[in-house]
Structure 1
Amino acid sequence: MKKRRNRNKEENLKATLRKRIIAILFIGIVSIVGLVQFGPKIGSLFGMISVNRNKKVTPPQANIPPPIFVDIPEATNKTEIDIKGFATPKTNVELFVNGPKKATVLTDASGEFLFTNIELNKATNTIFAKIGETKSAIVSIAYDNKPPKIEIKNLEDGDKVENLNERIEIAGELDEKAEITVNDRVVIQKPDNSFSFLLGVKEGEVEIVIKATDIAGNTSEEKIKIYYKKK
């Protein structure tokens, strides 16, 4: 009986040992397969953790409003101009003209900035300003030093005019948009750049002075003298 019990115990121990060995082998195989399949991903995860651990956390910056230009002309007849505007007080504003950075200024306590003697190309100039990565609206300034051409259509110097109403019509046209005056009276320019004006006159010699000023500030002038007689 004793021998039989000892045999049973041995067999039970052997069976238990076999089960443990099989379990250990199974766990080992599963671990190897898992490492092959998921090892790279786990390594990447640990790598990211390591990188992020060494990375400095940058606190979020407050939104900075973009610089705003003030009184920028559409066109100018000058090769150098001043450019002003407003931005966040006590910040550096960078000015870019036709691509490259031209200047940097510090805004004052009220946020005003002023760039002086900014050189322009003799063409269309593209301009914007920046505070850090915050960019202003892009503006264009055309360089134009050519004065408008005035052509009087219905009168010539030395003409004699006779009528009943003591008025003379002056009609003409320009080669561009401009502000027009006739003897210092404002005249409305039509969409086709032509103009007409009735000038009150008295008998005798009448001097007619037509002036035109374009958006770049170029001015031209035409003078003629006519002789008026009332019928």
Structure 2
Amino acid sequence: MQYTSRRLRSQEKKLNKKLVKTVVLIIVGIIAAFQIGLPLLAKIVVGLSFLRKDRGITEKSADSLLFPPSLNSLPEATNSAMIIVSGITDKNSSVVMAVNGKEEKSESDNKGQFEFRGVRLQEGENTIEAYLEKEGKRSSPAGLNIIYKKEPPEITVNEPENGRKFFGEDKTVIIRGETENNARLSVNDRFIIVEPDGDFEYSVSLNEGENNFIFKATDIAGNSHEVEFKLEYSP
């Protein structure tokens, strides 16, 4: 009985020591967690806060960017003093258009489409710029150039003389003249080449009797001009 009692007391002491060690380890672990974990947690929270702030700044910056409108294409030149300028931009937004520096304003619809009707051009080259406008700020411009030309191209036949008569072996004749350098030229509905300086020539074999020619020049704006020319031939 005495031996058993001693044995029980010894086991109890060992258990108490283990319990004390366990409690100490738990306390040390809790202290370490607070000393290491809390600063780390604080850093994580601060980092997330900065990320959220940076994201907000980025989104705000993206929202503040204004992209220029996209203008529908126009011809290089026109013979009309008034045209329509249209395009697409942000929906339900203000669009400012400047023609040779003179501004007017319109609104895009719920699809972002806009249109300026009755845009008046000055003779010669015209510069058109369009801006998106929001909260007093403007985008960079979208630009186009268009030429307004109302006068038709001139045609001059330099040689031979209009109405001249040819005889015998002089059946093949070269007609030479000049017109605008960028005009399209035809004679009796057959196109002929116009040189960069506006000169042209046309070789033709004359028929017996009267030979009639109609020269027609059309410029880049669509203006056209016709000249009638006549030569005679006798074998």
TM-score (norm 2): 0.61
Query: Is 2:195 aligned against 1:194?
Result: no
- The verdict on how the C-alpha distance between 1:226 and 1:134 changes in structure 2, with shifts beyond 3 A counting, is same
Gaps of at least 5 residues in structure 1 are 1-56
Taking only aligned residues, the RMSD between alpha carbons, in angstroms, comes to 2.9
CA contact (8 A) 2:88 2:108 kept: no
Aligned to 2:221: 216
Aligned to 2:116: 115
Aligned residues: 173
Q: Percent identity?
A: 32
Aligned to 1:61: 62
Query: Is 2:206 aligned against 1:205?
Result: no
Query: Which SS does the other structure have where 2:142 is aligned?
Result: coil
CA contact (8 A) 1:128 1:135 kept: no
TM-score (norm 1): 0.62
CA contact (8 A) 1:68 1:136 kept: no
Aligned to 1:128: 129
Aligned to 1:101: 103
- The residue type paired with residue 122 of structure 2 is N
Query: Which SS does the other structure have where 1:94 is aligned?
Result: strand
- The residue type paired with residue 99 of structure 2 is V
Query: Is 2:152 aligned against 1:147?
Result: yes
Between the aligned partners of 2:176 and 2:156, the Cα distance in structure 1 is 9
- The verdict on how the C-alpha distance between 1:207 and 1:134 changes in structure 2, with shifts beyond 3 A counting, is same
- The residue type paired with residue 103 of structure 2 is K
Offset at residue 208 of structure 1 (A): 0.5
Query: Is 2:163 aligned against 1:161?
Result: no
Query: Which SS does the other structure have where 2:232 is aligned?
Result: strand
Between the aligned partners of 1:218 and 1:177, the Cα distance in structure 2 is 12
CA contact (8 A) 2:187 2:214 kept: yes
Between the aligned partners of 1:112 and 1:194, the Cα distance in structure 2 is 45
